[in-house]
Structure 1
């Protein structure tokens, strides 16, 4: 048990880091906008990963270029649409809905009947959150639409990441993926928020968000994954919507209605159940 305490602690710190980074990003939106914040975060992340991973030593051939490109595009658009959603809906709800992406990938690849239960539970959670539900309150429908797009891009990211992982070390592949992600979101940042993000006084905050939301949690998760079973890792990561909700409550003053908490727990249980049945 003791040998698992350190990786479990690292995972908890990783979750706190990424969600605290998201809360800082949301507070940064009035200065740089969602597109500008995404552009700064992903660009700084790409620079850091490119240097740490020595990605220039990994040659991109014609055979793997399009896989890496698709991997990077899905990563960049996932971050962009998630931040667009975060402008409009609470952090905890956004993270919970986004988890539909990896859950869908796992279920579609499975033939187990028990997965129908997790699908039904996740669907219930989504129904309780949707603005058309009589229980949902006043969530922004455009925010919901953006985070559903983020969930789709997360699902595509998982598919392409698995394919890209066959073409080099995980760190170098991640570095090139992040470079392509940066190239995919920079046009949005420049077009929508170009006058603001070219201000060097905003760059330190963009770097801080990149560290908290990408570099630090990625490093900690990689270290933790080496020392705990995949099943345990998946179940613990399913708690991320709860962590996001708590962070949102503390730092963003986002209070949720009881039915919204119930919706988040439906999705968390569905995600944890999927991890359990696929291990």
Structure 2
């Protein structure tokens, strides 16, 4: 794999001119920056849970990200019934995915919550394939999730169940985002869906956060989390997708759970057990196996298109 990946990643830009600015940064480095930024956003968000709580943090995260995307894309609000329905359902998936992810993070290490959630799109990709080998990758991922949930106690069980709910929403997000992207090319559909997702999460956020949501310091941190989790990774991934194949992009993105666990260790001093480490590795290997198994299929391109920037929107890829 290393030779093929290196050949695709280091391909010279068209026209023979030397790249400048962000174009001069190697694609793997851009992906690394984007993934580290996403996980730093998650770690900083968790640090605010004691002040505003996971639901309120979800509102801040989605609200600021939606505002930036709406200003940038300026989508029209005149939608036909079919498009409006697709945007609405995607908004619900976005709200559920992010809310469940933050609720799971409050009960378990960030790396564990992220890895379990990532099983959603992994399962969608595996089940959409007709190859028996890809079904086996899904089984391996399931075994990895079982190891990740091996914490014992009510907190471990509730956290695992919430993370599995995140996986369901995340798995639904993939085809829904592709559908909205087909109906509304560009990022306008995602911006509208994220705005609706913010409205969906708003009641729980207001109930939990209350007056804290009006605190300028909290708002500033919320804006920073939104930019770290959305703007930076979106920019890095868009640039990476211009230069590498969907296969290489997907393989690089599959490393995010490990990066999430490392960032959580450095920022939050969170550790995971040897069994959980083994489970995380199993999910990462299964993800890479599924991506490589779908080489050249339409599913591969849909699952890693620019309209699904932050899956993890990663996108909201968490």
Normalising by structure 1, we get a TM-score of 0.94
What is aligned with 1:193? Answer: 209
What is aligned with 2:137? Answer: 118
What is aligned with 1:203? Answer: 219
1:120 Cα deviation (Å)?
A: 2.0
Q: 1:180 aligns with which of 182, 191, 196?
A: 196
Secondary structure at the aligned position of 2:225 is classed as helix
Distance of 1:200 and 1:60 partners within structure 2: 35
1:130 Cα deviation (Å)?
A: 2.4
What is aligned with 2:31? Answer: 11
1:127 Cα deviation (Å)?
A: 1.7
Is 1:60–2:75 an aligned residue pair? no
Distance of 2:242 and 2:194 partners within structure 1: 22
Q: 1:34 aligns with which of 51, 54, 67?
A: 54
Q: 1:85 aligns with which of 89, 104, 115?
A: 104
> Unmatched 5+ residue regions in structure 2?
1-6, 13-24, 296-318
Q: Deviations over 1:82-126 (max 9, x none)?
A: 000000100111111111101111012111011122022112111
Is 1:230–2:235 an aligned residue pair? no
- RMSD (Å), alpha carbons: 1.5
Identify which range, 188-197 or 223-232, moves more after superposition.
188-197
Secondary structure at the aligned position of 1:30 is classed as coil
Distance of 2:185 and 2:63 partners within structure 1: 21
Distance of 1:53 and 1:6 partners within structure 2: 27
Secondary structure at the aligned position of 1:170 is classed as coil
Secondary structure at the aligned position of 1:256 is classed as coil
> Unmatched 5+ residue regions in structure 1?
none
Is 1:144–2:160 an aligned residue pair? yes
1:211 Cα deviation (Å)?
A: 0.2
Distance of 1:13 and 1:114 partners within structure 2: 32
Alignment of 1:194-273 (within 5 A): 194-273=210-289
Distance of 1:154 and 1:65 partners within structure 2: 20
Secondary structure at the aligned position of 1:82 is classed as helix
Q: Is the 8 A contact 2:149 2:276 kept in 1?
A: no
Secondary structure at the aligned position of 1:55 is classed as coil
